[in-house]
Amino acid sequence: MLKSLYSGITGMKGQQTKMDVISNNIANVNTTAFKSQSVSFQDMISQTNAVAQGPNNNGRGGINAQQVGLGSQVAATNMLMQGGSLQYSGRGLDFAIQNGDNSFFVVSENGTEENVNYTRDGGFTIDYDGNLTSANGYKVMGYVPAGGMTPEAGYDSDDLPTALTPIQINQTMNGLELQDYNIDNSGTIIATYSDGNTYVLGRVALSNFANPDGLEKAGSNLYNATTNSGEPQLGGPSDDGYGIIRSGFTEMSNVDLATEFTEMIVASRAYQANSRSITTSDEMLQELINLKR
């Protein structure tokens, strides 16, 4: 059988994978903080019909190898981690990370430091117990002063514990009623209670990775660390190498529709060209069979 039949099949399979990635990007064009993906290809092993030969002593020149490729395959699906544009929401619990494409919020399903995920989606809420949570109920982790809230006048970020703890914004604390709260660019949550004083409730944690492209998508806008992403480096907003927090904003998807539709056309034509190579090979086989007549 003609090798071109199977080469064409590999090309069609690869373009189908590219189309799957493009479709997923377009489907998530309005997903908060979604990071688009791209596909890269590489050739498969080549069949060597004749090896290369160098010049010999009789004066004959060198001869290049004779090789026939056997198709293509998907080399990688790359994540494009550059930050999306910030969109004003006016909601106090919407946090966006600015100037920190490698920074992620740290969230935990059960509120423990050992079982955490990472996200860029800062659309948070407060549950019945006062926990700051993500849209799917994961607790937002950060640094909480020992014993609860600390008067803002005596606040020193160096005094905060290094261990991660779920952030809480309680309606009542030490007999005081919550009046208002806000978060500054450093991720520090400052609340005003019924005694008229302001208190520090904690500081939102951020995590950096040496290779954020190596993170694994876990669904629900969450990422898992992998052996190729590197160990998470914990810190806080506005620290060296970390982004800053913008309260009242959400991060938009970084999907570029113009690019995606262009790539869709390219993938469609490449798929069509590969299918044409299969039909042409079939016609050649038909001609060969007709020699018997």
Give residue-wise pLDDT tens across range 4-47.
889 999 999 999 999 999 999 999 999 999 999 999 999 998 88
Residue 150 maps to a domain: yes
Residues 284 and 238 in one domain: no
- Judgement on whether residues 143 and 99 belong to the same structural domain of the protein: yes
Residue 26 is predicted with a pLDDT of 97
Within this chain, do residues 142 and 215 fall inside the same structural domain, yes or no?
A: yes
Using a CB cutoff of 8 Å and minimum separation of 24, what contacts does 208-216 make? 208/100, 208/102, 208/103, 208/104, 208/232, 208/233, 208/235, 208/241, 208/242, 209/102, 209/104, 209/233, 212/79, 212/81, 212/101, 212/102, 212/104, 213/78, 213/79, 213/81, 215/79, 215/118
**So what's the pLDDT on residue 1?**
61
> For 181-217, what is each residue's pLDDT tens digit?
889 898 999 999 888 889 889 999 999 999 999 999 9
Q: Is the pLDDT of residue 154 over 90?
A: no
190 inside domain: yes
In a domain, 57, yes or no: no
pLDDT of res. 213: 92
- Both tokens of 93, joined, read 């619990």
259 and 127 within one domain? no
User: Do 247 and 259 belong to one domain?
Assistant: no
Does residue 48 lie in a domain region?
A: no
Instruction: Report whether pLDDT(230) > 70.
Output: yes
User: Is residue 260 located within the same domain as residue 215?
Assistant: no
User: What's the confidence (pLDDT) of residue 211?
Assistant: 93
**What average pLDDT does range 253-262 have in this prediction?**
96
Tell me what the mean pLDDT of segment 133-147 comes to.
90
| Residue 185 and residue 237 in contact, taking contact as beta carbons nearer than 8 Å | yes
238 near 244, Cβ under 8 Å? yes
- In a domain, residue 197? The reply is yes
pLDDT of residue 226: 94
The partner residues of 234 in beta bridges, in order of sequence, read 207
Take residue 277 and report the two structure tokens written for it.
């190579």
Same domain, 160 and 284: no
Residue with tokens 């018997």: 292
Asked whether residue 59 is assigned to any structural domain, the reply reads no
**Which residues span the domain enclosing 32?**
3-42+73-80+255-290
Domain count, the chain: 2
Is 235 in the same domain as 97? yes
CA pair distance 136, 247, nearest whole angstrom? 20
Please indicate, yes or no, if residue 68 is contained in any of the structural domains. no
My answer on whether 132 and 260 are in the same domain is: no
pLDDT at 131: 93
Give a yes or no: residue 23 inside a domain. Answer: yes
Q: Write down the pLDDT at residue 163.
A: 86
For the stretch 104-136, what's the b/e string if a residue is b when 16 or more beta carbons lie within 10 angstroms of its beta carbon? bbbbbeebeeeebbbbbbbbbebeeebbbbbee
pTM here? Answer: 0.87
Per the prediction, the chain carries an average pLDDT of: 91
pLDDT at site 61: 85
One domain for residues 226 and 173: yes
Based on the domain organization, do 223 and 111 belong to the same domain? yes
Burial bucket for residue 144 (CB in 10 Å: 0-12, 13-18, 19+) = buried
User: Quick check: 155 pLDDT over 80?
Assistant: no
Reported as a pLDDT band with limits 50, 70 and 90, residue 293 is low
Percent of the chain residues past pLDDT 70, beyond the cut: 99
